[in-house]
Amino acid sequence: MRDAREAEVRRPVRQAVDRALGPAAAPGPAAAPAARPIPAAPAAGPRRVAIGADHGGYALKEILRRAIVEETGWEVFDCGTHSAEAVDYPDFAAAVAREVASGRCALGVVVDAAGIGSAMAANKVPGVRCAVCHDDATVLNSREHNDANILSLGARVVHRGAATRMVKLFLGTAFAGGRHERRVQKIMALEQRGR
């Protein structure tokens, strides 16, 4: 009985993933990479994504950067870091956040070891809604319900294959609007009241 309930809860997520990435994105050992490009940019602005990482996320950032260019057709603006030498994650998260908040990039991706610190730093930049995500369901929710404009990933939390799929899903999922619009406006209004 529990398995049937869990399958019922997961069905809408699987359907949304299939819509965004195509059926080839189904998880499991038989999964093949998505053969078709991701749809046009869901956010207003250029079809450009800012990406940045600290030393803990550098290797995953490089994998994601290549995948974005080769598999989605989006242009990448790389905010660094450019090596595995120790650096401070707030610097790179803020650089990505400024690119997104300015409109020079439609969306952003930040990577550190856990994804938490970079999300905290990015969310300090007005206009940014950065979400730490760990799976397809949280990515879909962040875009469809919260209109997240930056995805934060933990290189020690999310496997590179899952991370690549999640970034493609993030780029290919549009904000649902409707009842969620009012809620996102309330989130953004907190920036004004908090000063």
User: Which of the four pLDDT bands, split at 50, 70 and 90, describes residue 191?
Assistant: confident
pTM: 0.80
97-134 tens-digit pLDDT: 999 999 999 999 999 999 999 999 999 999 999 999 99
Residues acting as catalytic residues:
145
Position 38 confidence tier, pLDDT thresholds 50, 70, 90: very low
Nearest to 25 by CA among 79, 88, 66, 67: 67
Structural tokens at position 100: 């997104």
- Which candidate, 129, 72, 61, 122, places its Cα nearest to that of 96? 122
pLDDT in tens, 125-156: 999 999 999 999 999 999 999 999 999 999 99
Residue 32 Rama label (left phi>0; alpha psi -120 to 50; beta): beta
Q: In this predicted structure, what is the pLDDT of residue 193?
A: 73
- Identify whether 81 is preceded by a cis peptide bond (ω within 30 of 0): yes
Q: Report how far residue 112's alpha carbon sits from residue 155's, in angstroms, rounded to the nearest whole number.
A: 6
Give residue 18's pLDDT: 60
- 110 with 92: CB under 8 angstroms? yes
Which helix (H) or strand (E) segment is 78 a member of? strand 75-78
pLDDT at 46: 74
Residue 161 has pLDDT above 70, yes or no: yes
User: Quick one: pLDDT at residue 54?
Assistant: 98
Rounded to 10 degrees, what is the CA torsion of 115, 120, 126, 132? 40
Q: Given this model, what pLDDT does residue 172 score?
A: 96
Angle in degrees, CA 15, 176, 154, rounded to 5 = 70
Q: Return the higher-pLDDT residue of 9 and 47.
A: 47
Q: Can you tell me the mean pLDDT for 156-160?
A: 97
- Is residue 24 over pLDDT 60? no
